[in-house]
Amino acid sequence: MKRARGRLRIYLGAAPGVGKTFAMLEEGHRRLSRGTDVVVGLVETHGRARTTELIEGMEVVPRRTTLYREASFTELDADAVIARGPKVALIDELAHTNVPGSKNAKRWQDVEEILDAGIDVISTVNIQHLESLNDVVEQITEVPQRETVPDEVVRRAEAVQLVDMPPDGLRRRMAHGNIYAPEKIDAALSNYFRVGNLTALRELALLWLAGKVDDQLDQYRAEHGIAGTWEARERVVVALTGGPEGDTLIRRAVRIAARTKGADLLAVHVTLSDGLGGADPAHLARQRTLVESMGGTYHQVVGESVPRALLDFAAGVNATQLVLGTSRRGRLAHLFSRGAGATAAALSGSIDVHMIPHAEAGKGARSVRSRAALTRRRRLAGWAMALLGIPALTVALIPFRTELTLPSGILLFLLMVVGVALVGGMWPALTAAVAGFLLLNYHFTPPVGRFTISDPQNLLALSVYVLVAVMVSAVVDLAARRTREAVRASADAEVLSTLAGHVLRGDAALPSLLARLRETFTLTSVTLLERVGEPAPDDQSEPGSWRIVATSGGPPCTCPASADTDVAIGGDLVLAARGRLLDAADRRVLEAFAAEAAVALRQERLRREADLAGPLAEADKMRTALLAAVSHDLRSPLASARLAVESLRGTEIDWSEEDREELLATADESLVKLDRLVANLLDMSRLQAGVLGLTRQPVALEEIIPRSIDDLGPLRDHVEGDISVELPEVLADPALLERILVNVMSNAVRYSPAGQKVLVTASRHGDHVEIRVIDRGPGIPREAHERVFMPFQRLGDRDNHTGVGLGLALSRGLAEAMGGMLTPEETPGGGLTMILTLSIPSRAHP
C-alpha cells in the first residue's frame, strides 16, 4: 500500500545564525529519544562545533558527489533517503541551489520527492529566501539573494516555527565567532548584520508568519462553521455609499486602524441586487484610489439588504470594527424605517460599530434625477386617451345605463385607466381616474345628473375604483421608470467596462481614453487641461492659466469656460468637453472618465520619470562599478612599470644584460596593458555616448587575424590561427576589428588550461563570415551567456585581479557598431567558443 504524503516542518529565521539548524537537530534528537526513525539527510554545519556535536549519535545518509568544472561538490542524495525509508529526515537549507547537472535544480524539489515518498521532513529557511520578499530584502540589505524558494512551498508546510533572536543578541553571537569565521566578522557586522537590517528582517519574518497563522485561523473557522468574530487581529471595515461623505469616513477609519499596529483597513460598497442603486461612479473611483493610497483594500458586494450585506462581509473577513456614516434621511423617513446604520448596529453582535457624523447627514436621501420614464410620444398619447377616451367611453355607455350596473361601469372605466397608464404613465392615468370618478358619479350613480351619491355602497365602490386606479398607475409608471433606469445603468456599465479595458490595454492610455470618451458621447473635442501656476479667482476663463495636457477631436478647449461641460479633477486638472451640453446622467459617466484620465496621466508621467531615471541609474551603476573595478587594474601595470624603470635607473645594483632586458620587457608589457585598458575605457564611453567614429571597408581576414595575434605580446604563443586565404573580405573597421579580436583572444587565453592553445578559425556562411575563437577552459553555463557581456563582469570572480571585466562588453559593442554580432557557444568537449559574425561586401557575393 502506498504511504501517505509526508509532513513538512520548517524552522524559519530572520537571518543566518539565529539557531535554525540547532533547533532542527534538537527536534530530531527529541523524536529519536521517543523511538522515531530519524536520519540526517543533509546538515550544513558551517564549521560550528556545537552544531557538529548535535549530529553525533544520529544516522547520516551519505551525500551524493557531483563533478562540475573539474571540482567535486556534495549534495543531498534524495534517492538514497527514499531508499532508506526513515520516518523523519532532517534536511537543512531548503532554498539551496543544487550544482548544475543534478536531478533537480533546487533542494526544495528534492524535498518534494521525499515528501511524496511518505517521509516526514524537517527543514530550515531564512526569510530573505522567500520568493515574494526577495526584492524587499535586497532593498533593505543591498545584497541580492540568488537562492529563493516559492512561498507556496513554505505555506504548505504543516508547521512553520519561528526561531527568533533580538538583533543585539545575534550581533554578540557573531562577535564571539559562533556564526562566521573570524576574518569575516568585521565585514558582516558592518554590512549585512547591521542593527537596522536585522530589525527589518525580523519584522518581515514576524509579519510573514502572522499572515500564515491568519490563514490557518480562517481555515479552522471555515472547517468548524464558526461565523462569529474572533478578535485575533484588528480589521476595520468602512462602508461607502458612493456619496461625497465617503472621504470623511475613509479618513476616520484610517485613524481608527492606526491605533492598533498591523490593523487592516477594508472599504466596501454594497450594490443592491436590482442594480438600481444611486451610487456615483466618480465618487467611488476617487474613494477607491484614496483607500488604496492609505494602504487599504476596496471591495464591492451585491446584496438585497445593505445592513445584512455589510455584516455578512464584515463577518466573512473577521472584522472587529465597522465604520458607518450617520443617515442622510430626514426625520420623517425615520418614522417608517430606522435606516441602514441603525439596523447594522442592532445586528452587529461582537463587531464594534462607529457612527460617524458628516456634512451630508440629515440632508435627505441622495436622489439621482433621471429622464422621464416614457418617451414624449407615449406621454402625449396617454394624455389624449385620458382627455378624449374617458368622455368617449361615457358617451358610448350612456344609452345602456338602464341595463348597465354600477360595478360593470366601474370595471370598464378601470380598464380604460389601466390602458392610459400603460401608454402614458402615471399622471395621465391619475387624470383619467379622477375624470372617470366624476363621470361615473354624474351619469351612472343615482341620483343621475347630480354630483351626489345617495347609496353609501356606491360611494365605497367609486372610492375603491379611484384607489385601484391610482395604485395601478403608480405601479405601471414605476415599472417603466425602473426599466429605463436599468437600461441606462446597463449602458453606463458597458461604457465603463470598455473604458477600463481600453486603459489597461493601450500603452498610450491617455489619448486613447479621451478618444473613447469623445466617441461615446459624440462630442466635438475632449481636452485635459492642467492649471499653470497658483489658482486665481478668474482663471477659469483665462487661457494663459491653463496648459493642454492631451486632447482628442477638433479645436481643443483652452480654458474651462470655453467648454460646454467641464469636470474638475482634484485642484489642478479639468476635463473639458465641447460639442453638446451633457445631462446629469451622462455627467456621472463623464466624471468616471475624468477620474480614469487623472490616473492615466499619473501613470504616464511616472513611466516617463522611470524612463529618465533608468539611464541615470545605469550610468551611476557603471560609474560605481568602474571606480571599484579599475582601482587594481590601473595601479598594477603602473606599479610594475614604475618599479622596472626605477630599478634600471638605480645605481645600487649592477644589472646584467639579461636582467636589464627582463626589466624592460616588464615595463613594456605593463605599459601595453595600461594602454589597452585606457583605450577600452575610452571606447566604451564613446559607445555609450553614441559618438564612436568608425569606417567600414572591405578587410582581408588573412591580414587582420595574424596581426591581432601579434598584438597579444607574450600571449601570442598560446594562440594558433587557421585562416584560409580563399575567404572573402568582410565589411569592418580594421582598427576596431583588431581590437575585438585582441580582447576576445586574450580573454580565451586567460581561461585556457596550461598547455592548451586557443584556436582561431574562420569560415563562410552565405552572405557572412564567422570568426571562431575556441578555448578548452571551464566554459560558461548557458544561462550566464548574456551576463558575460555586461560591463565590469568577470564570471566566477570575486576580486579585481583578473581584469576590469570590460573586454567582452566592449567587443560586443564594437561588433554591433560595425553591423556584426558577437555570440558565445559551448565548445564540444568542454570550453567556450566566441563567434564574431561579419557581413561580406555585396560585390563579393557569388
CA distances from 456 to 293, 328, 460, 654 (A): 70, 45, 6, 149
- Across 712-784, where does the E strand assignment appear? 719-722, 730-732, 758-765, 768-774
What is the rounded CA–CA span in Å between residue 732 and residue 736?
Answer: 8
* Residue pLDDT, tens place only, 492-519: 666 666 655 655 554 446 777 787 778 7
Smallest CA-to-CA distance from 194 within 140, 129, 148 is with 140
Rounded to an integer, the average pLDDT of 829-834 is 86
Most confident residue range from 114-123, 526-535, 662-671? 114-123
Model pLDDT for residues 297-327, shown as the tens digit of each residue: 888 777 777 888 888 888 877 788 899 888 7
In angstroms, rounded to a whole number, what is the distance separating the alpha carbons of residues 587 and 565? 8
pLDDT tens by residue, 427-456: 888 888 888 888 888 888 888 878 777 777
3-state class of 296 per DSSP? coil
- Confidence (pLDDT) at 84: 92
Average pLDDT of 32-51? 88
- 719 against 349, higher pLDDT: 719
The answer, yes or no, to whether the previous bond of 447 is cis (omega within 30 of 0) is yes
- Cα separation, 825 vs 841, in Å, equals 26
Report which of 682, 704, 804 is spatially closest to residue 747, judged by C-alpha positions: 804
Please give the single-letter amino acid code of residue 562. S
Query: Above 90 in pLDDT, residue 24?
Result: yes
What residue has cell string 380604460? 416
User: Residue 574 forms beta bridges with which residues?
Assistant: 529, 568
Residue 221 has what pLDDT? 66
The whole-number pLDDT of residue 634 equals 63
Confidence class for position 118, pLDDT limits 50, 70, 90: very high
Euclidean distance between CA atoms 716 and 11, whole angstroms = 56
pLDDT at 620 over 50: yes
40 vs 614, residue with greater confidence: 40
For the cut 60, the answer to whether the pLDDT of residue 624 exceeds it is no
Least confident range of 101-105, 218-222, 328-332, 365-369: 365-369
CB 39 within 8 A of CB 58: yes
* Model confidence, pTM: 0.39
- Other CB atoms within 10 A of residue 447 CB: 10
Cβ atoms of 841 and 729 closer than 8 Å: yes
Average of per-residue pLDDT values in the chain: 79
Q: For residues 737 and 838, give the distance between their C-alpha atoms in angstroms, rounded to a whole number.
A: 10
pLDDT at 333: 52
Q: 25 with 51: CB under 8 angstroms? A: yes
